[in-house]
Structure formats: C-alpha cells, structure tokens
Structure 1
Amino acid sequence: MLRSYRVLAISLASLASANAAFADPPRSPTVWPAKQVVLVSFDAAREISQWQRSRALAKRTGAHFTYFLSCVFLVSPETRLHYAGPGKAAGKSNVGFGASKQDVADRLEQVQLAAAEGHDIGSHACGHFDGKDWSKADWLAEFASARRIFENAYAINGIQEPASWRDFARHTVTGFRAPYLATDKALYEALPEAGFEYDASGVSSGPVVPPTLNDITRFALPLIPEGDKAKPVVAMDYNLYVRHSGGTEKPAMADAFTERAYQAFRAAFEAQYNGKRLPLELGFHFTLMNDGAYWNALERFAGEVCVMPQVECISFRDYLARQRPGQAQAAVGG
C-alpha cells in the first residue's frame, strides 16, 4: 500500500541565553515508511490437499490469501446439469466438475474454514471459458450461475446444509478473476451490476497501486524479471511453467525451477521493499506444475517475507478494507 511519508516535527526549547543555546539538542527527522504489502492468490481452488496446504502455510506465516473458486467444483458429475455456460450446453466445463458428492462436501468445508481464518473467497466464474468476446449479458449470466450454485451448493448435491450457509454465501464473494485473464469492455460493465467490488484479471508492466474505475478496484499481476537475462514474465505460476518447460512436465528439473521462481519472487519483493513499496501480487493455481516447483518456491518465499515486521501478506479484500475505513478486515501476522 502506498502512503505518504510523514516527517515528525521537532520542538525546540526556548533560547536559554543570548548565545541561543537549545535546552535539548535537535533531533533528526524520522521517516515512517509504509509497510510492504504482498497479495497472494490462488485460481480454481479445486484440490482439497492444496486447500489444506495453503491454509497451513498461512497459519505458519500469519498471511491471508485470496481463493478464486470455480463454481463447477461445487457440483458433482451427477449434478453437473445445474450449470450451463454462455452459449454452451448444460453440463459442459473446460475444467471438469467436483469428483463426487463427498468431494464437494469437503471443498465446501474448506471454503468455510478458510473464510473463518480470515481468507478471502473470490469468484473464478464457473466453467473456465474464455470470455474475451462475451457480451455484458453473457457475463451477467455467468455471474448469476456462479452465485446461484455457490448459494445452493448443499441443496444441489443433497448435502446437509449448515444453518449459517445462506447468509455466508450471499455476502462472502466480492472479488473476481477472469479465467485465462481474458477480459473485455463488457466485463467491466457487468462487474458493478453483479455486485463485485474488485477485479484481479489485469496484467501490468510492474507493481502498481490498483486504481478504482466505475466502482471496481482493478488489481493486476505484474511483470517481474526472471532468469539469467531478467526477462519479464507475468508473476503467476502458469506463466513460469510455460517459460521454464514449455508447459510440459519436467520433474527432473523441479529443483532448478523452484530456485528460479523463488529468486524471481524475492527479487521483485526486494525491489519494492527497498523502493516505493508498491503492492506486490503473485498468482498461483492449485495444480502442482513441474512437480510442485512453484508452490515450493511460494512456501520458501512466504516463510521468509510474510513474517517480517514491515511486511503484510494480505488478501485483496483486506487491501480494499484499508482503503475504505469502517470495513472489517482480518488481522495479520508479520
């Protein structure tokens, strides 16, 4: 978060004599820098083991994360016809569905546990379709499907519903990230109408203070230097995966890829921590690419920086709360 630096005023004692001697020696101005904000998020949020792993990382480091959930993971193969994407047949999805009724129940439990621990639950739409050519009506239809399935997930799957679920489901999702980071003008027309407060689908040339346009705060994954030649890459695990191995698994190189990713994250962090302290965003998926190289790098990075006293690893929702006094925000460690 970018804040203006403040300089403490120095009070001078009255002149004690004609020699103009001070009662106390003057003090040097003290500068109080803003804390470095790190925003870590996860797309799709499917595998239960990754929910558990990320929550454990948060507990160790005092961090809070944002989870962009695809709504198709809240319907089982037997109930998949409850979803139809814009221009698609019912029961179609680019990323599949929940594995079973029990798998959906377990994921719903993780969603509630994460929220109770101060994490942010956002929307990643439903079927992971490319919406770059969608109309406003298409986006609104997809958002309506996501909210309907989220709110009715227990009933749709025939699972015993907690008494507090409906109220929780109606108020918890305030942010969105588009699948493939694919956006168009119509998306930004639809977002405020659908009740969202922020979008995290952008890409920027480097860390920036997110602007608010048409009542939507727009976060962007930055380009960060990576590798021996410091070539810019989007600060997301999938983009590193493509950079490192052409988007194919090379488990024998996992350790080398972990080190490269860690060094890129750390260098991007140091540039801000020792500079303007603009918010640094890092994006991940629950998929373990290159034998988990990028999650391993994340765990090392978060374990080092999120515990620092001048660093706050927070969610997008918490970031907004700090810009809007009166909104509730989670307490963070570090």
Structure 2
Amino acid sequence: MPRSFRVLAFSLAWLGSVGTALADPPKPMAAKPKQIVLISFDSAREISQWERSRALAKRTGAHFTYFLSCVFLLSPKTRAEYVAPGKGAGKSNIGFAASEQDVADRLQQIRLAAAEGHDIGSHACGHFDGKGWSKADWLAEFSAFRRVLENAYAINGISPEPSGWREFARHAVIGFRAPYLSTGKALYEALPEAGFQYDASGVSNGPALPRAKNGTTRFALPQIPEGPKSKPVVAMDYNLYVRHSGGFEKPSMAGEFADRAYRAFRAAFDAQYNGKRLPLELGFHFTQMNAGAYWNALERFAGEVCVMEQVECISFRDYIERQRGGDARVAVGG
C-alpha cells in the first residue's frame, strides 16, 4: 500500500477511535439530598404562639414538632391530678394552665396542629430536672403525661370530647425532649419501654446525623457559631438569650439580638446546604425572650429557607417515618 494511503487509513482509524471515546456519555454526578431543617418548640403554652407558629408553617410549608408539657392541660382546679417523682401533688416548675378555658383552647390548638401534619411530642409534665431520677421515676413521669393527655377532656370537665381523641393520645406521641436537656442512663433505659421512638434531648458539636441506639433514635441540637467572635452556642433560643443578655430582658436591643440570631441560623444552614447537607436542628420556646427577638429571627429564617426547592422543613416524626419508609399518621377527629 502506498505510504500516503497508509497514513490516511491510520488517521481515519485514529479519528474513529477518538470519536468513539468522545461519544461516551459522562458519568452522572450523584444528586445531593434535600437539606432537612428540624424546628421544634418546648412546653407549648401560650395560645397566641400556637397560632403564630401554625401561621408560619402555612406560609412556608413547614412541619414543626411541639414538645408539650402536660401541666398545661391541668387547671388550678385539677392540678392535683399530677404528682411528680419525689414531689407532692400539684407541684410544677412551670405552673399550670390558667383556667379550664385555657386548657380547652390549648387542646383545640393541639388538635389543629396535628390535623395540619405537625408532630406532638412529650416534654414530660412539671419541667423538673430528672438527671437523678431512676428508671421507675421516668416511667412514672411518662405514665402521668400519657394519662393526662388521654383524659384531658374528662379531667377538666370539657365536653364534648372529640371523636378519636383517645386514640390520638395513645399512639401519636412518639418523641421526647427532656426538660433542661438533662439526661442520664435511666432515661434512656425508660424511653423505649415507655413506647418512645425518638429522643431530642442531645447536644452535639455541630449538625450530625441522628443515631439509633437501644431502639430509640437520638437527635441532638447542634452548637453553631454565633456573634462577632463566632463562639459556639447551642442552637436554641434560651441559650442565645443567656449569651446575649445574661438571661435578663433587654428589649432596647431586641433588633440587634434578632439580627445576630438570624445570621447564626443562616450561616449554619448555608454551611450544610453548600456542604454535606446534614440535618439542621433549631429549638425554641413559646416564651418571648428579649421582646420576641428569637421568634423574629425564626420567622425571617424560615421564610427564606423553608420555601427553597432543595429544602424541607419537617418534624422529627416526619424524619423517623421517612427513615423507616412509613407514612402512617394518627389523625384526631372533631
């Protein structure tokens, strides 16, 4: 074969092999999971804050977790129905409901929130520090919570009791957060025996995947950088309140505190959204600390991120159900 034809044939063969190589489709990159944000509220007392949080959820498509203290389902007349471990009847660190009507209004908010897809969890009853409690003490406290919740209408003489209420009270509450985030070996021994599927009492150095241990999935509030020096603080409004004003009200600085809290929330979110996308937990109370600074920060934050296409603001219960591939919910009628 003449040299010129050999060169042409080689060139065509080489181009053909390159063309074949170039035609191979690139390997698709693994899609990032959606960013999960878990927002919760402790004690769940003030009716106005129930309404405000539910309105925020409707605006943003979020689902929240409400950790309820059962003493807010007992009035001054019925407070003796609760006996805390090692205490006399009718004792509580956080008081009781203001009246029978106050209990009725709160029960309505619980029913509305549950019907809207929110998660109702347990914050025990009297907000006592149970670090030194035995397993039997914790089981007694959990039993008191479930008894008060199930019989709240009958105990307080509120009628009619909605259809499905007792079924809801028996089965819907699957999560717990300890008062003061105070835990111990006895608590974790009692939780699965009392039927709880998750605990949200932990604290971690930063956002972390929840881990299952002894039948209970454990979530942890992360420490996040905050303030001019980016010092870590637990991502909860009370901890910010202590950081900002020593636990005393400074309403004149509410705007500054709200902005600091928002920037801390947003920076922690952005770090995960642009990074590993570990779930981000934020905790709040119904109490308006520093003239509502932290709720203002929450509303600004949730209004921005919960509506994002790659973000889901869901409850702890939602998270558990997704991990287990289930979608069952206990509805409450009325």
Normalised TM-score (structure 2): 0.92
Query: Which residue matches 1:37?
Result: 36
For residues 303-334 of structure 1, give each alpha carbon's deviation from its aligned partner in whole angstroms, at most 9, with x where no partner exists: 0000000100000000011110134379xxxx
SS at match of 1:33: coil
1:83-232 equivalent positions in 2, closer than 5 A: 83-160=82-159, 161-232=161-232
For residues 84-124 of structure 1, give each alpha carbon's deviation from its aligned partner in whole angstroms, at most 9, with x where no partner exists: 10000000100000110000000000001001101000000
Q: Deviation at 1:168?
A: 1.1
Q: Deviation at 1:197?
A: 0.2
Query: Which residue matches 1:8?
Result: none
Contact 1:69 1:121 (C-alpha < 8 Å) held by counterparts: yes
> 1:158 & 1:152 partners in 2: Cα distance?
10
> 1:29 & 1:180 partners in 2: Cα distance?
47
Number of aligned residue pairs: 315
Query: Which residue matches 1:296?
Result: 296
Contact 1:192 1:214 (C-alpha < 8 Å) held by counterparts: yes
Gaps of 5+ in 2: 1-11
Query: Which residue matches 2:252?
Result: 252
Gaps of 5+ in 1: 1-15
The percent of aligned pairs where both chains have the same amino acid is 76
1:49-68 equivalent positions in 2, closer than 5 A: 49-68=48-67
> 2:23 & 2:46 partners in 1: Cα distance?
63
SS at match of 1:241: helix
SS at match of 2:58: helix
Q: Deviation at 1:74?
A: 0.3
Query: Which residue matches 1:3?
Result: none
Q: Deviation at 1:17?
A: 7.4
SS at match of 1:188: helix
Amino acid of the residue matched to residue 149 of structure 1?
A: V
Asked which structure has the greater CA Rg, the reply is 2
Amino acid of the residue matched to residue 306 of structure 1?
A: C
SS at match of 2:77: helix
> 2:240 & 2:298 partners in 1: Cα distance?
13
Contact 1:94 1:128 (C-alpha < 8 Å) held by counterparts: yes
> 1:28 & 1:156 partners in 2: Cα distance?
64
> 1:28 & 1:170 partners in 2: Cα distance?
50
Normalised TM-score (structure 1): 0.92
Please, what is the CA RMSD of the aligned residues? 1.5
> 2:311 & 2:100 partners in 1: Cα distance?
40
Query: Which residue matches 1:79?
Result: 78
